[in-house]
Structure 1
Amino acid sequence: MPISETWLLPDGVTDVLPEQATVIEALRVKALDFLNLRGYQLVYTPFIEYIESLSSLCESNQDLDLATFKVIDQLSGRLLGVRADMTPQVARIDAHVHPVAGVARYCYTGTVLHTRPQGFNRSRSPLQLGAELFGAQSIDADVEMIDLMLSLLQHIGMAENFHLDLGHVGLFRSLVKFAQLDKHTEQKLSDLYQRKALPELAEFTQDLNCGTDFYYLGRYASDLDALQNKLSTAVLDNAAFKQALSALISTRDAIATRWPELHIGIDVVELRSYHYHTGLMYAVYAPNRAAALAQGGRYDGIGEHFGRARPATGFSCDLYTLAENKFQELSVIVAPKGRDQALLNAIDALRAQGHAVVQLLGDDQIQSVAYATQQLRLCDGQWVVVAL
């Protein structure tokens, strides 16, 4: 590579300049303060650790495994992974490092790294912020997490006309088990559902056991009333299917009561991270944004890898995505050089009030100070701020 191009960054990795970094940092602080007041305790996790630890999710989530950078530790010779998601790290804390007997609530933020962008026009190094709740199996925990996610977005100033998508992997998973399908057929169905390929789905399910039910699951994925009218009695009476459907309906109704103006959509075949989620899944969208503002779901048993399987639910978001196209106009007050005590006192007073003040150095002029909008000037024996 020519020397002139060595400053270029890899695809999907960007610098964040002052006008946007200020916005992102304000969002981060405001979000963490909000989560702390809701009882979610802040933890920091290492950027890199042994792959065996990170693999608590990678084993069941091939997408996460493929997204994880792997390197050899020069000290131990063991394989290390750069975190692509902080959830397995927080699960390690809950299961082994800081085992709480009852319900544990944690929040976190930090940069993660992906081998490939996780979606169109997405960063490979998102600034992930999230919350996790361990130790509660009830629907109340999922309702709390969804409410927390929506309240957080509202609190940090995102658009309030959200759209919430709800799903439950238990519907598809229980139907697969009931029909006794093999892994290959299960994967093919999952792919068809993800692509919303109804004509292909109709053809593929013709000769399957419970094929009509699988077709209806995709055909009426967003209409629970129509779905229940179309599915066979045998499927509707299946205990696992019935439990998943009841959980989905109960969660929808609870959130609708808490957020009466919220538009809630249902998609029972939204199977992102299907092999890792174990129950309810949720994502929130805003108008004119293709990517979800935040998303999450239930992933019971995640701590089993560390010797302590626990019910768990959580969500995360990318602060870079939330701050997309948001910039703050910066303002700096320029003070003249000098060690006069009155001048220094005036500078200290302005900084104590939250103003950015830069004092000139040597032969510098005001023009040398970036973002200068005002200056500190001596007028009638008093140091006052005047506009440039």
Structure 2
Amino acid sequence: MTGPDDRGEGVASRLALAPPKGMRDLLPPASTARARLREKLVHAFRLFGYERVTTPPFEHAEVLERGIETVDPRELMRFVEPDTGEVALLRPDLTPQIARIIATRLANRPPPWRLCYEGTVIRRRHGRARQQRQIFQAGVECVGLEGPRADAEVVRVAATACARVGLPEHHFELAQVRLGQAALAAVPEAARPLAQEAMSRKDGFALEGVLRNAGVPARARRAPLKLIELFGDRQTIGRARRAFRDAASQEALDELEAVVDRLEGAGLGERLGIDLGEVRGQAYYTGVSVTLLAPGPGAAIGTGGRYDRLLGRFGAPAPATGFAFDVDNLEWALRHAGVETTGRTNPRFVLVAADADLEAEALARALRAKGYATSRVFGPGTDAGIAYAKAWDYDIVIARERRGWQATRVGGDAASAHLEGGDAELLGRLLEWADAAHATKELACPQ
């Protein structure tokens, strides 16, 4: 008999074997659904000519630190590489790795370089939690192509990816980082994070307080306070032109408007918004930036923008722009929209029969040859198969009977049918019944 102390030891043992805080496992069927989702994204990227690359999970700190202005230094996870004694970083972002690849491995190929990727990045949460965090990303980088045509292209790639995965409601918010950089030029470096945070919340009262406390003159406070009011449809650009009449601002707005024109020409006008108060990543981005939003996660499901300075830090100056999905948030948005994320089109079978049943093995091989996942269970009767099917997310249980086979749909109204016949006839009847039964079964999205 197990006593309270034994149970306590069991709980402690399980906790000791758990992943570090902020890290997690993906179990079936969620892991399979995640892999399918990422493959759909990469397929959409490749439709535009973006070729897939794979990068290592950690690199020398000196390499990655050349291009990670978008990541808070407190989120970086460093360690000493035991073989060399050099400081290494778990990758907090994949874009610097893409820049390194282009500068060192692909420099002899003609531009533009269109590369795509998917993988996990690791960041540490700062603040009270001090936890690690794994982020699943999938994205594209367009390097060597300058101006609005490239900026519009990566947004079109992202829009195509959204369509491919079936996300019904989403929109892109475009910003022009150069306006924000100019508006905050008079703000002391130490006060800029607070000012940017207030701007992201569109909190004019807080922004006024930050600027006043930082000693920013009244005249210099007008630009950031005006900027947070400039959001909406493309008419926002016209309002901005009237508010910021200097040549540099007009040129920056020309660039943004050219991107909007191209996207409207591609049929994306209804999915576009303008938010000139978005000042995210000012130290990194150099032009038009984009944020992809959808109901559900309460955070962006993707971000991107122009970063023309990065490649120069690797000795290969080139214009560049890119976009990356946060796959966790994308999956959340899909579930919120009621989109089936498993990607399964065929039912999955559990076949219950004795190990030595040659006819059962032949039937399993025939199902697999047709593309149907089929798992053998060697327990007695349909009940064992149903229990296994429910635990492992199978749809149809086929159990050997004295005469023929009993096929049972798991879940829903648990429909069943008795099937007999020779090999080909039996397979045909089974698939006809199973496909019809599967078509009426509503599969649950993985949590």
TM-score by length of 2: 0.75
1:173 — aligned with what?
181
From 121, 130, 147, the equivalent of 1:138 is 147
Aligned with 2:299: secondary structure? coil
Q: Are residues 1:97 and 2:105 paired? A: yes
- Structure 2 residue 226 is matched with structure 1 residue 207: no
Aligned counterpart, 1:10: 20
**What is the aligned counterpart of 2:377 among 349, 353, 360?**
360
Which shows bigger deviation, 284-293 or 308-317? Answer: 284-293
The residue identity in structure 2 corresponding to 1:256 is E
Instruction: Report if the CA contact (8 A) 1:73-1:79 is conserved.
Output: yes
SS in 1 for 2:65: helix
Q: Against the structure 1 CA distance between its residues 18 and 132, is the aligned structure 2 distance closer, same or farther, given a 3 Å change threshold? A: same
Residue 155 of structure 1 corresponds to which residue in structure 2? 164
Distance 2:393 2:71 in 1: 47
Q: Following the alignment from structure 1 to structure 2, what is the Cα–Cα distance between the partners of residues 335 and 283?
A: 50
Partner of residue 115, structure 2: 106
Question: 1:260 & 1:62 partners in 2: Cα distance?
Answer: 30
> 2:5 maps to what in 1?
none
**Paired letter, 2:385:** I
Change (3 A) 1:200 1:327: closer
Counterpart of 2:283 in 1: which secondary structure?
coil
The superposition leaves residues 37-76 of structure 1 with CA deviations (integer Å, 9 ceiling, x where unpaired) of 2200000000111111111223x3452x332211111111
> What is the one-letter code of the residue matched to 2:34?
I
* 8 Å CA contact 1:334, 1:358 repeated in 2: yes
Task: Tell me: CA distance 1:42–1:304, structure 2 relative to 1, closer, same or farther (3 Å).
Answer: same
Q: Are 2:178 and 2:286, in contact at CA under 8 Å, matched by a contact in 1?
A: yes
SS of residue matched to 2:161: helix
1:283–1:27 Cα change, 3 Å: same
* CA-CA distance at 1:302 after TM superposition: 1.0
Gap change, CA 1:371 and 1:189, over 3 Å in 2: closer
Q: Is the contact made by 1:296 and 1:314 (CA closer than 8 Å) also made in structure 2?
A: yes
Q: CA deviation at 1:171?
A: 0.9
In 1, Cα distance between equivalents of 2:113 and 2:304: 17
Q: Distance in 2 between matches of 1:200 and 1:279?
A: 26
Please give the residue correspondences for 1:35-114 in structure 2 after superposition, counting only pairs within 5 Å: 35-58=45-68, 60-63=69-72, 65-99=73-107, 100-114=109-123
Superposed, 1:263-274 pairs within 5 Å as 263-274=271-282
Q: Secondary structure at the match of 1:366?
A: helix
Partner residue of 1:225? 238
| Aligned partners of 1:23 and 1:323 also within 8 Å | no
Question: Residue in 2 aligned with 1:252?
Answer: 260
Please report the TM-score for the alignment, with normalisation by the length of structure 1.
0.86
Cα shift at 1:337: 3.6
1:241-289 deviation digits (Å, cap 9, x = unpaired):
2221111122123212323562422111211222111111101212344
- Matched residues in 2 for 1:101 and 1:182: separation? 42
- RMSD, matched Cα: 3.1
Tell me, yes or no, if the aligned pair for 1:162 and 1:262 is still in contact at 8 Å: no
Note if contact 2:136-2:328 (Cα within 8 Å) is conserved in structure 1: yes
Q: Number of residue pairs matched?
A: 376
Larger Rg: 2
What residue is the counterpart of 2:4 in the other structure? none
Identify which range, 30-39 or 147-156, moves more after superposition: 30-39
Which position in structure 2 is the counterpart of 1:197? 203
Alignment gaps of 5+ in structure 2: 1-10, 405-419, 438-447
Contact preservation (8 Å) 1:61, 1:273: yes
1:336 alignment partner in structure 2: 353
Q: Distance in 1 between matches of 2:42 and 2:207?
A: 44
Unaligned 5+ segments in structure 1 are: none
Equivalent residue number for residue 135 of structure 2:
126
Q: Which SS does the other structure have where 2:123 is aligned?
A: coil
User: Using the alignment, how far apart are the partners of 1:90 and 1:375 within structure 2?
Assistant: 49
| Contact 2:288 2:305 (8 Å CA) reproduced | yes
- Which structure ranks higher in relative contact order (CA pairs < 8 Å, sequence separation ≥ 6)? 1
The alpha-carbon distance between structure 1 residues 318 and 19, as it changes in their structure 2 partners (threshold 3 A), is: same
Counterpart amino acid of residue 201 in structure 1:
L
Q: Does the CA contact (< 8 Å) of 2:198 and 2:204 recur in 1?
A: yes
Q: Equivalent residue for 1:183?
A: 189
